Structure 1
Amino acid sequence: MIDRTNILRAAQGAMRRAIRKLVLGSMYKVLRAKSHNTNYKIQDTIILVDGNRLIPKLKLPQRTIVKGDQKVFSIACASIIAKVCRDQIMIRYAKTYPQYGFAKHKGYGTKEHFAWLTTIGPSLIHRRSFTLTSKLL
């Protein structure tokens, strides 16, 4: 996805899909709760976005917060969860591509990672649009 659009649009798309899943799940829970509790109220929601760009095609109130992960606890928590999930994905990829050392560096731009890229070239999961990868192709 990143290679087809760019990293910003890919991240915004991922955020939009995650928010839509949360909203649909919440609506289901509200409908179930309403059948048991007629006093149940939905609170107003605002989407806090780390950075300076709103999420396009999302029809919910949003507020951008530059360096939000340093200023807002919920954004910091979401950032940590995203990093841990990404690292777990890279550990799984390490089983398919053991020669790249993903289990150790998780795909981050370490000297070891760049050395492997230079030595054996990019794998199928490497971003083609990344500067070093594009030079090796």
Structure 2
Amino acid sequence: MSHKQYLTTSDVITINKIVDTSIVILTSNIGDTSVTNPFLVSIGCGFIAALLHYFFLAAFCWMLCEGIMLFLQLVIVFSSISKRCRRAVIWAFLGPALLIILINIVLLMLAIPAMVRYYKRRQKHSRIKDKKKRRYYQVLKHC
């Protein structure tokens, strides 16, 4: 008993995009070689440009089809999920994100006082150095 495999819509779209891209590459290569032949330059340039325009347009249309298909598949999948399951899915994404944000806030609150202490200590040392410099200059003035 043989098992037949049927192509899904996604497979058909992917095959068409691959064929279209292959034709674009082939047409580009033909266009590159026709530039060297003076006879084909006059006739071939417009024809190659039209083919490239058509196949690029087709590629964008296939991408649009794939986007619509993906959207419909997602809408069908997520509309069939129950409210409880939907809440669980949301917390599966939000929970870890909120935990990381909370940990970062705690670390920031610990880092800010350390930075303030360092800045105050640095200012204190610079004031001491300024006082020593002033004394040194006063001594030099009196000499």
* TM-score when normalising by structure 1: 0.30
Considering Cα pairs closer than 8 Å and 6+ residues apart, tell me whether 1 or 2 has the greater RCO. 2
* TM-score when normalising by structure 2: 0.29
* Pair member with larger Rg: 2
